[in-house]
Amino acid sequence: MEEKSGMIGKWLKKHLHLYVAATRHNFVLSIRDGSVDLSNFKKWLAQDYIFVREFVPFVASVMIKASKTSDDKNDMEAILGGLTSLNDEIDWFKQEASKWSIPLSGTIVHKANENYCMFLSSLMLPEVEYAVAITAFWAIEAVYQESFAHCLEEDNKVSQELQETCKRWGNEKFGHYCRSLQNIANRCLEKAPDHVCARAEVAFQRVLEHEVEFWNMSHEGVGKSIDIV
Ligand SMILES: Cc1ncc(CN)c(N)n1
């Protein structure tokens, strides 16, 4: 019997090129083969800290949508689990930043990061359907899980000091969490009208595009300056 991979399984095939661009980016491959330039890693870390702080209210908005519209109370609990792990994530970023002596306040927000955060804000609007928001939420988490799990595969050459970062998102528990989000999204998409599915597919593609731009940022100069206080 054909594995029930749902709408997302179909989109992963249809947009495979973009999905590979997001989950096998040169920056990620350079972490995996140990050739990453540490200054690029530090740029990425500082920008990702800014992103995660914007990601928290987005995840909260998905949880609110779930509590209002989902027919399954487990959805809200799964998303709540993600929200609490973001609490640890922010602490982890602060520890990592001090380990690398990266000043987190006063970081200049790169244009690609600003664009990604504006996209997150657009998905927080109440008129954005739950099926669209949960699909984007799954995609955002899945890109990091796939990228960093790849770094931890056999014969990787990740330097000792970057192992922690890869394990943060590449571990099996986070993989299980992403699969639970994928199942929630598929269940919503099965029931959603065509025009909502179409919007969710666009959101999926937009997430992948923003993730590629986010990885690209690690080896570019900083873009527009917005001080983070
Ligand atoms: C840009 C980005 N995308 C996804 C994740 C995983 N929450 C993250 N930390 N940063």
* Span 143-175, pLDDT tens digits: 999 999 999 999 999 999 999 999 999 999 999
ipTM of the complex: 0.98
The model's confidence at residue 222, banded by pLDDT at 50, 70 and 90, is low
CA 94 to CA 190: how far, in whole Å? 40
Instruction: Return the bridge partners of 108, or none.
Output: 227
Distance 94 CA to ligand 1 centre (A): 15
CB 108 within 8 Å of CB 226: yes
pLDDT value of position 1: 41
- Residue 114 in marked binding region: no
Q: State the average pLDDT over residues 13-40.
A: 97
* Residues marked as catalytic: 211
Residue nearest to atom 7 of ligand 1 (CA): 141
Query: Is the model more confident about 148 or about 223?
Result: 148
Residue nearest to atom 4 of ligand 1 (CA): 140
- Residue 141 in marked binding region: yes
pLDDT value of position 216: 97
Q: Is the pLDDT assigned to residue 226 strictly greater than 90? A: no
pLDDT value of position 185: 98
Ligand 1 proximal residues by C-beta, below 6 Å: 48, 51-52, 55, 140-141, 143-144, 214
Using the atom order of ligand 1, give the atom closest to the CA of residue 214. 1
* Span 115-149, pLDDT tens digits: 999 999 999 999 999 999 999 999 999 999 999 99
pLDDT value of position 71: 84
The residue to mutate among 19, 43, 49, 51, having the most atoms of ligand 1 within 8 angstroms of its beta carbon, is 51
In angstroms, the Cα distances linking 187 to 75, 96, 153, 193 are: 10, 37, 30, 12
pLDDT value of position 220: 78
Q: State the average pLDDT over residues 215-222.
A: 81
* Span 49-91, pLDDT tens digits: 999 999 999 999 999 999 998 888 899 999 999 998 899 999 9
Residue nearest to atom 6 of ligand 1 (CA): 141
CB 40 within 8 Å of CB 158: no
CA 166 to CA 163: how far, in whole Å? 5
Distance 4 CA to ligand 1 centre (A): 27
Q: State the average pLDDT over residues 203-227.
A: 83
pLDDT value of position 72: 86
- Residue 89 in marked binding region: yes
Among residues 54, 27, 22, which one has the least CA distance to residue 39?
27
Query: Strand, helix or coil at 227?
Result: strand
Residues 6+ apart with CB under 8 A from 187: 6, 72
CB 120 within 8 Å of CB 58: yes
pTM, rounded to two decimals: 0.94
Average pLDDT, the chain: 93
Determine phi and psi for 227, rounding to 5 degrees: -75, 135
Query: Strand, helix or coil at 213?
Result: helix
User: Which percentage of the chain shows pLDDT scores above 90?
Assistant: 87
The model's confidence at residue 221, banded by pLDDT at 50, 70 and 90, is low
User: Which percentage of the chain shows pLDDT scores above 70?
Assistant: 94
Distance 138 CA to ligand 1 centre (A): 11
Determine phi and psi for 37, rounding to 5 degrees: -80, 125
CA 28 to CA 41: how far, in whole Å? 10
Using the atom order of ligand 1, give the atom closest to the CA of residue 145. 6
Using the atom order of ligand 1, give the atom closest to the CA of residue 113. 1
Q: Is the pLDDT assigned to residue 5 strictly greater than 50? A: yes
